[in-house]
Amino acid sequence: NIQGFIFDLDGVLTDTAELHYLGWKKLADEEGIPFDREANEALRGVSRRASLMLILGDRPYAEAQIQEMMERKNRYYVELIQNMTPQDLLPGAIALLDELRQAGIKIGIGSASKNAQTVIERLGIADKIDAIADGYSVQEPKPAPDLFLYAAKQLGIEPEQSVVVEDAAAGVEAALAAGMWAVGLGPVERVGAAHVVLPSLEGITWADLREQLSH
């Protein structure tokens, strides 16, 4: 019996991947490191530090430089998210959130981002969310189950009563490791391990999902 939904933020409710890309791209250009949109795809759902490591490859940098670069990229990103509005919600997101609330289902956010709170406020959905697990909540990043277990605990529900909606392979893996139901958004090659795979949330209703998850 499903009691709550935990939504990943970037790639599920909104598309901040492009803004993360612009932040990383500016940093990479300043450092003379090649980086493009294709390389950015590998950073989906990946923590800030792990993202920087992927961009730097085997170039040697001291810890202080790594810290400085993470802060610099974050300044660029924080500036970019100030321009976000409710228009930046992905198709189908608000309809599903409202329908779930109507049905008495609890709603949580499980995002790797340390900027999740700001993004949620800019999107105008703060009053629809019961709990937020973000980049400050746990130590172990996805694919570890910790972030989603933390979110379920905040919602006061058990893992088997929780549905995670994710767009990243590591996120689907984390949901399954937590013993939760997983809905994957995107290509099967990426999120095929999920119980239900959908192209996006557009046109998706709670009734559809409940039906598909019961098979």
Taking the complex as a whole, how short is the minimal distance between the CB of residue 16 and ligand B16, in angstroms?
7
Is 40 annotated as ligand-binding? no
Is 197 annotated as ligand-binding? no
Q: List the single partner that 46 binds among Mg ion, ligand B16, none, CB under 5 to 8 Å by kind.
A: ligand B16
Report the interface residues with Mg ion, using CB under 5 A. Answer: 8, 10-11, 45, 167-168
Q: How far is it, in rounded angstroms, from Cα 64 to Cα 72?
A: 12
127, 132, 136, 141 alpha-carbon torsion, rounded to 10°: -140
If one counts every other C-beta atom within 10 angstroms of the C-beta of residue 119, the result is 22
Q: Give catalytic status of residue 8 as yes or no.
A: yes
Closest to ligand B16 by CB, 9 vs 196, is 9
Taking the complex as a whole, how short is the minimal distance between the CB of residue 186 and ligand B16, in angstroms?
12
Is 31:23 a contact under the CB 8 Å cutoff? no
Q: Give catalytic status of residue 146 as yes or no.
A: no
How does DSSP assign 153-214, residue by residue? HHHT--GGGEEEEESSHHHHHHHHHTT-EEEEES-HHHHTTSSEEES-STT--HHHHHHHHT
Q: Which of 8, 88, 134, 146 is catalytic?
A: 8
Is 214 annotated as ligand-binding? no
Is 206 annotated as ligand-binding? no
CA atoms within 13 A on the CB side of 191: 26
Is 149 annotated as ligand-binding? no
Report the interface residues with ligand B16, using CB under 6 A. Answer: 8-11, 20, 43-48, 51, 74, 111-115, 135, 168
Closest to Mg ion by CB, 4 vs 45, is 45
Q: List the single partner that 105 binds among Mg ion, ligand B16, none, CB under 5 to 8 Å by kind.
A: none
Q: What helix, strand, coil percent values describe the chain, rounded to 5?
A: 50, 15, 40
Closest to ligand B16 by CB, 25 vs 44, is 44
Q: Is the peptide bond before 159 cis (omega within 30 degrees of 0)?
A: no
Q: How far is it, in rounded angstroms, from Cα 197 to Cα 188?
A: 7
Closest to ligand B16 by CB, 43 vs 105, is 43
Binding residues for substrate: 8-10, 24, 43-48, 51, 73, 111-115, 142
Catalytic residue ranges: 8, 10
Binding residues for Mg(2+): 8, 10, 166-167
